Amino acid sequence: MNSTPFDPQRDVEILARETVFQGYFRVDRYTLRHRLFRGGWSRPIQRELFERGHAAAVLPYDPERDRVLLIEQFRIGPYAHGGAPWQIEIVAGILHEGESPAELARREALEEAGCVLTSELLPVAAYYMSPGAVSEHMTLFCALTDLADAGGIHGLDHEDEDIRVHVPTFDEAMAWLAAGRIQNSPAIIALQWLALNRPRLRAG
């Protein structure tokens, strides 16, 4: 295998694929082989893949007040791991059919936090959440927003959402991050990006 761009027809051979679970999410089992760095092909290998759709997330930031909007809600993953299930996060969601990541970010900001995003969304990062076993691709934004009236309890009843909005100062949010209170990658990455870009955003 060389450094030329990936070609799905040339570099990976799918020998079999089956859906082994279909519920709210889906699990597929692949049998495949792929080209090796030293040349030639791997032997056939099996991999289970968790299919949950692709996502986008946004960190609303008020440069005038130097505050961010974070949300808190119950999450089954940390609970099953033995951690605190109420997680501090940023607004996020799964893409609907035909929806762009930016459209999703604006929709979820309103649904999860009652926050209308009117400014341009600033790109932060695009990355795979857990590429060893999950197809999910995350598009991450920051939005410059007036947070004077932000707060309260939000979420959609038909999705059983119970979401509390926090509007800490930037320094408070970074203190939460340093103390380990924020434990999910979109929020961590977005806040670290803001730490790097905050002087420019406040000046401009």
By the 10 Å C-beta count (0-12 exposed, 13-18 middle, 19+ buried), 130 is classed as exposed
SS3 content of the chain, % helix, strand, coil (to 5): 25, 35, 35
| Strand partners of residue 79 | none
**What is the helix (H) or strand (E) element at residue 60, kind and residue range?**
strand 55-62
Catalytic one of 48, 64, 120, 159? 159
48 flagged as catalytic: no
Do you know the residue count of the chain? 204
Which positions are catalytic?
Answer: 159
